[in-house]
Structure 1
């Protein structure tokens, strides 16, 4: 039976999310039991589900605390799950970070800390350095989110304003051993960029963080400048002896999600081409570039022949200039649709695998050959909506939003373009 393009694209998105579920990824990566205690800590949108997977498969005693996004809590018996705000931190994240820091403050060399880290941990694990307030961190976060900075640049700044990121949490665990299970949501899967690297050594500096703020003309509170200019915000560097007992295990990545989606498409008879798992840049620019590739495939059979599916992942950015709600996946799709201009036979889906695109409880959207014509019939002007950063409003009006609810995982953006013969 032939699968409708829209249905196939959604099955591919669902397969990408399923491939990164902690229940599937965590058990095989658990460490050997220690001589002493096992303390479980963590932060991120997937940390609650990761904690549950640990409980379900750990053979001995354990205790601990992890913090996840509001709505992402799962029932656990021995590991406490706290919830906090994302992407802008709140007081609940501050309390959770203080409690986690205290949990690891009196460990011995016989103890083991199992740290469960996933995307979103930068905001959820919110413990500013002395002299920096939560309000200061919130202001910096909001400015970074609107600036167009890459995730690596944003996390560089965050690491140098935090009492737990940039390797500081691992340093606080010494002399205990630390095993970190990472669920990657960043292009390149660099541990120091996943949740701003609470257990990873950080080669970047306060000067690097200052340069990023200057590059994007971000005005920050005077207290933040003092921390960076004085060097007081310097993070834990490679070779620090406190990190000698640390191990990192990557349990799920964007590439794994793309591979799972590709298998679904191939089973339906479509050749698949994975373009990249680490595409960055302005979402609207990525949309127009991928539209150009799709049109070349459809019209000239280059660099691939139709029918086929083009897959990509990574993390684009949106520099918010309008009054819309942002959302990098819907901005990508709207730009893609404008550039395709109703080209027959090209369908697409884009969404964030955590179920939240930007600040919205919407994962992303579908795009079809008729999306623009349907919008015009409703009096909606696609280019005006793009200029206003209102991709969510555009696709909601068409009834084409993709809503998953909390997915309990996060391997970043997912984009699929299906080109029919």
Structure 2
């Protein structure tokens, strides 16, 4: 790897760090906090960033509080007044179920004088499971796993989740009624759809049981006859947007994918590099999105359109991976490996693709980087990139060539971050 290539990868790392820093809870929570009320203030929440959000809240709130939030194993931070529970993600476990039950208990029997502050971020759907009484945790786990492997979009996955849960799809807000409810959201979904972030426990859900069943059948997800009958009869319906129990609910987006991309663009500008943000909500099969990005990259490199190199192409969103091989998937690394294959070692191009929560798919690795030498380094080790891509095993590929990006828990979650550096032709 040349010194210029090293400089380019350091630049990309710096942009990713800027994106993470700009969306940290300690920066975003204090400016959106509600005022104290005459009654009690109960803080609840779920997500990979929820513990850090709870810490920021209790350090800045002027009144008395109590509460409980549930976060992913390894993502807890110390709090004095808010209980922190760790549970499994992306497939729920017993700890998550018990935490959801406790949350429901804590917000029951409130009055108009009380308020509930709900802290939500990506991962909240899996971390706060409370399936309907007829659905066991084990069956819920099987359905979750099947959906995650199916290639369904996050919007489709969470549509199903909302209709199998007592808390999602406005259920938590309904349980809080008549208390005031303020929800602070760190968005990890394309378009910042409020009903999709953590499956929308405090907002109305415009989708129906029929929609959920259509998605289940589209991806051939196996469910019991009981669940099918309940969905067909509309008995698992979510709370709708005009429900009276939502009248005292306020929802605030405090950190978004666009904020992360803008922070990265600002960092690049400070370093004298032009940036083009292609979009904050790009979706689709990861390896196919990579082919489109490769085409744009070649256009910039060879024809200086729509921006003149040296420059950086930034994008966010959430792609999907349909697992067909024996690998663990990971949409960012799958995108990146497909991009490398399409670019064929074209000189002067480096890229990074990472999940901003520090976990890409089911691996505790944020993502990876590529340079013009990635494929040749792999070939020197006897590795065929296309075989790893076909096997959904990109994480192993990048580990073997030493180009994984490992951050540990980032304490935020604003979806995927992708940056492609394109140098000027020599």
TM-score normalised by the chain length of structure 2: 0.98
Q: Indicate if the aligned counterparts of 1:35 and 1:110 stay in contact, CA closer than 8 A.
A: yes
Q: How much does 1:105 deviate?
A: 0.5
Q: How much does 1:265 deviate?
A: 1.1
Q: Indicate if the aligned counterparts of 1:40 and 1:66 stay in contact, CA closer than 8 A.
A: yes
The match for 2:51 among 26, 38, 48 is: 48
Distance 1:14 1:244 in 2: 39
Partner of 2:297: 294
Distance 1:225 1:386 in 2: 36
The match for 1:386 among 385, 389, 396 is: 389
1:407 matches 2:407: no
Q: How much does 1:175 deviate?
A: 0.6
Distance 1:130 1:294 in 2: 51
Partner of 2:116: 113
1:171 matches 2:171: no
Aligned pairs (5 A) from 1:105-144: 105-144=108-147
Q: How much does 1:224 deviate?
A: 2.5
Deviation string 1:312-361 (CA, Å, 9 cap, x unpaired) is: 00000000000011000000000000000000000000000000000000
Distance 2:94 2:376 in 1: 46
Q: How much does 1:268 deviate?
A: 1.4
Distance 2:86 2:197 in 1: 19
Distance 2:389 2:60 in 1: 47
Distance 1:70 1:291 in 2: 36
1:71 matches 2:74: yes
Q: Indicate if the aligned counterparts of 1:146 and 1:318 stay in contact, CA closer than 8 A.
A: yes
Q: How much does 1:230 deviate?
A: 2.1
Deviation string 1:386-418 (CA, Å, 9 cap, x unpaired) is: 000011011000000000000111000000000
Partner of 2:340: 337
Partner of 2:221: 218
The size of the alignment, in residue pairs, is: 421
Aligned pairs (5 A) from 1:7-156: 7-156=10-159
Aligned pairs (5 A) from 1:267-278: 267-278=270-281
Deviation string 1:11-46 (CA, Å, 9 cap, x unpaired) is: 100111111100000000001111111000000000
Q: How much does 1:221 deviate?
A: 2.7
**Secondary structure of 2:195's aligned partner:** helix
Distance 1:264 1:61 in 2: 39
Distance 1:325 1:103 in 2: 37
Distance 1:92 1:225 in 2: 27
Distance 1:267 1:321 in 2: 43
1:312 matches 2:315: yes
Q: Indicate if the aligned counterparts of 1:161 and 1:227 stay in contact, CA closer than 8 A.
A: no
Q: Indicate if the aligned counterparts of 1:136 and 1:224 stay in contact, CA closer than 8 A.
A: no
1:202 matches 2:205: yes
**Secondary structure of 1:348's aligned partner:** strand
Q: How much does 1:222 deviate?
A: 2.7
Distance 1:13 1:226 in 2: 46
Partner of 1:239: 242
**Secondary structure of 2:204's aligned partner:** coil
TM-score normalised by the chain length of structure 1: 0.99
Deviation string 1:219-270 (CA, Å, 9 cap, x unpaired) is: 2233322331221110000110011100001100000000011111111111
**Secondary structure of 2:169's aligned partner:** coil
Task: Using the TM superposition, name which of 210-219 and 362-371 deviates more.
Answer: 210-219
Runs of 4+ in 1 over 6 A off after TM superposition: none
1:372 matches 2:413: no
Distance 1:228 1:378 in 2: 52
Partner of 1:416: 419
Distance 1:201 1:394 in 2: 43
**Secondary structure of 1:24's aligned partner:** helix
**Secondary structure of 2:358's aligned partner:** coil
The match for 2:364 among 361, 364, 367 is: 361
